Amino acid sequence: MNQVSRISRVSDADAARMVSADAFADLAGQIAATPLPEHSAHRPASRSATSQRARRWLFGASVAGVAAVAIIAGGVIPLPGQSAPGRPTAGASHPSAVPSFGPVGTAAQLVDYATLAAATGPAFNPGPYQWIYTDVLQATSSAGAGGYLKGAPDGRLEQQIWTRVDYQEYAYLKNGKLVIAASNLPRSAKTGQASAPTTFGWPLVSYGYLNSLPTSPARLMAVIRDNLRRETNPIGAEGTGNVGVFNAVQALMQNVVLPPRLLAALYGVLARDPGVHFERSVTDLAGRTGVGFSTVQEGYLKEQIVINPKTYAYMGYVDVAIRAHSSTGLDGTTHFRKGQILGWAALLSSGIVQHPGQLP
């Protein structure tokens, strides 16, 4: 469910017409750094495509791209563009800068090669004052959006974002200039520090927590299932079935630039899940061909994770209706046609840098 529509009777389209582009850019940053009400994304009126899309985003600053804000806010927000991009950074770390053991053609190869590459590649453990850079390309539609694309994906929105690892600040480009802003996440009364955000299926997304997780797929699967049992209203087989696990894994990949060792373990979780299918060829929004994992949810919605077959890095996602479907919720009835793309995004680049404005 679109979070904005829950608290305002003004339509998204009307709101877009009333606010300037610069104001939208500032609003985007604020939304990206503001947590949603606790667990509100997991309480849809009906388990429609809108509810499925709502669980994607972090309860707080989206590490994998503030372009997501355009979807949360229910419309295409003209966020700052790509002018005056940052400069490459000497010594910066990139999660896909790992050895390649060849292209993958099966799920088993993906897990094996990604695990080997992660074990021999550089460490990915950023310090609290370093920054995570992401460059995300998001599909938009002239028909609007509100947790899903309401029409053909006829537009593109690219966004470069820098998020400090401790979540105290984030940065973006506005009119060619770098804007650094304090996080609006809840702050501790004792320390004054912003709290780390969370996402569906995970109690924390800090690198301290992520690097503490087991890399054995079986043990990691057990952790995910335990996390899902703690959700107030989990999505997918009451949080204990295959759909719940897939959704938790997908939410983490979409919102956080992950250490390669954990990413390889998550591939292992998906590969051993009987409800998840390996895709030999998936095209991301940037036109790149990858492999991936997918599930069919609610009988009509195919959700696909796209993975680079040579570097084993996460590339993005594609959501498509594989059959016609009508869904009714508090925001009305929505009709999806067979073959309609409901969501499409590509992670173009990511990595660790020393300060905002730099590129990995």
Gap between the Cα atoms of 260 and 174, Å rounded: 31
Distance (Å, whole) CA 318 – CA 237:
22
**Structural domain spans, the chain:** 3-359
Tokens of 209: 């927590």
User: Measured between alpha carbons, how far is 111 from 118 in angstroms, rounded to an integer?
Assistant: 10
Task: Give the pLDDT of the chain (360 residues) as one tens digit per residue.
Answer: 222 222 233 333 333 333 444 444 444 444 444 333 333 232 222 334 334 444 444 544 343 433 333 222 222 223 333 333 444 444 455 655 667 788 999 999 999 999 999 999 888 889 999 999 999 999 999 998 877 898 999 999 999 999 999 999 999 999 999 999 999 888 888 888 988 888 889 999 999 999 999 999 999 999 999 998 887 766 554 444 568 899 999 999 999 999 999 999 999 999 999 889 999 999 999 999 999 999 998 889 999 999 999 999 999 999 999 999 998 877 788 889 999 999 999 999 999 999 999 999
Phi, psi of 27 (to 5 degrees): -60, -40
